[in-house]
Chains A and B, each alone.
Chain A
Amino acid sequence: MGDAATDYTIDELVVTALAKEFPDDTVAFNGAVSFVPVCALLLARATHAPNLIWVASSIAVDPQPKEIGESTLSDALWDGATMLQSSAADFWAYAQSGRMNSFCFRGAQIDAFGNVNNTVIGTYEQPKIRLPGGGGMADLGCQVGRIYLWSTTHDRRTFVDKLDFRSGLGWGDGGDHRQRLGLPGGPRVCVTNLCVMDFHQVSKRMRLRSVHPGVSVEDVIAQTGFELVIEGEVPQTVPPTREEVELIRRLDPTDARKREFA
């Protein structure tokens, strides 16, 4: 894979770690404020997954943008697309049938089973903070089989034991809950600024898979509001190579990915 880079930044580590999760048969689409997944999809396509199809903004099929703009829903991403799939009804047909199979989302709150809240902090009727709303996440969490979670704020405010509101479905109550609801697949991983987590096969509870260089298991435990599954020695996340860092900087020359890192 080449030499480890020495001058990479955290956004490049997160993008690289997420990119590695996308297999070659990925047909993914992205929503709003999704700079990290867009970058990761571009990187995966440029490296190990040349057949990966990315539908930019859920609209532009297989584009080749020169840069990533201020909005991941804007036409700045659509250059070179083979189709502009412009109707929501068309989009949802392919998302429900499984032709489009992958979606990345996150939330203001994320729980141990990968369910997310993007609706309210506090009660629904009298919110302390009224957030934008579940949007398409409430739908696609149920409809799409491969869900990838990410967060650039791994702390106890984000990773909570109990969501104030369940806007988007991950593994639900855990175990076979999704299956009982008749829903496909579920969340595969959650990549954060501290670590990579996947989900225990049976309980579907988040499990610590690797910690980023410079982060300890104790750090992650301290910043997580629920009990993580930890099995044996937790390895370090493989840092990006020089080639990967160069690629990321070429694919995202305006550093749009850094918008998600305060």
Chain B
Amino acid sequence: MSAEDKLWALGDAAELVRDGDLVAIGGLSLNCAPMAFCRQLARAGRRDLDLLAVVSGMAVDWLIAAGCVRRLIMGLTSFEGFGLAPSFRRAAETGSIQVQEWSEHTLICALQAATAGVPFMPTRAGLGTDMPALHPDRTWEAIDERSGERYLACAAIKPDVAVIHVHEADRRGNARMNPKLVWFDTELVKAAGRVIVTAERIVETSTFRQAPERTSIPGFAVDHVIEAPRGAWPTACWPEYPYDGDFYRSYQRAARDPKAFAELFAEHVAPLSTSASMGA
């Protein structure tokens, strides 16, 4: 029993991440990011994290605002119709974090290379753009000797930790998206060294045995399970709850004034230390 019990307390979640780790954050834009987990990282004051977030918004913005982030590896960061992510934007413009822009498919390729244990994955994505030259040691154009075809090589990226949010999990790590858009989450899970799943509900293993065709991630691929009801808020956990548009709007309003932002952030995320990136 104890050997298989992967349940971990949300309050102790930050212990699963070390300063300096490369942490992959699940979710897609306004949908199903592991927000409760990110809140714990912010509260614990983790530092110098390298984040990998393929298409993110609020999760990344919280961690940047709290001063946790050294480098962001990303495809896109925004609040969609709610505007640019304010802390991300400010940190990128002032240079307080390093933004390493890739793209969605090149990041999938890099994760798949890590999963397969090969040095790089070829793709046509990104050819002819300015993106590969941003990190020429990680993405480079090449020509295949045999076919003469051009490709972009995407060097493997292996996250130290991946964190995703799902609807249901058991103590052994079996996880079910019920349904939700999986999107990048399963690629993060397959590539990462350690996998943390936060779940709306912890259910019995028998629930999975009764409908194994609906299990999204096998327990053996998961290291820690954390119960986190409404753990995706303010992003959506479709179809159980939608994203909280009012929160996005009030966050944007507050971001125009450091004092208002500190108040909102303390109430919903974590107190901002004076050394955190927002004020300093």
Contacts and interface: CB of A to CB of B under 8 A. Distances in A.
A130 B85 CA distance: 10
A34 to B, nearest CB: 10
29 contacts: A32-B76, A71-B30, A71-B243, A74-B31, A86-B180, A86-B181, A86-B182, A88-B108, A89-B112, A92-B105, A126-B93, A127-B92, A128-B93, A131-B84, A132-B85, A133-B75, A134-B129, A135-B104, A136-B55, A138-B75, A138-B103, A138-B125, A139-B104, A142-B126, A165-B130, A166-B128, A181-B150, A182-B149, A182-B150
A231 interface: no
Contacts of B179: 84, 86
A88 B130 contact: no
B93 A181 contact: no
Nearest to A260: B81
Most buried by A among B30, B85, B125, B150: B125
Contacts, number: 159
B261 interface: no
Given A136-B105, A138-B129, A143-B105, 8 more contacts: A75-B242, A87-B182, A128-B93, A134-B76, A134-B129, A140-B125, A142-B125, A143-B124
A261 interface: no
B252 to A, nearest CB: 14
A163 to B, nearest CB: 8
Contacts of A130: 84, 88-89, 92-93, 99
A132 B243 CA distance: 19
A141 interface: yes
Given A75-B239, A138-B126, A182-B149, A88 B78 contact: no
A167 interface: yes
Nearest to A134: B103
B164 to A, nearest CB: 13
Interface of A: 32-33, 57, 59, 70-71, 73-75, 84, 86-89, 92, 96, 115, 119, 124-143, 165-169, 172, 177-178, 181-183, 259
Contacts of B245: 70
A34 B54 CA distance: 19
B174 interface: no
A183 B149 contact: no
Contacts of B95: 125-126
Contacts of B183: 59, 86-88
Contact of A32 (B80, B125, B239): B80
A88 B128 contact: no
A139 B125 contact: yes
B9 interface: no
A96 B124 contact: yes
Most buried by B among A33, A131, A132, A135: A132
A32 to B, nearest CB: 5
B80 A167 contact: no
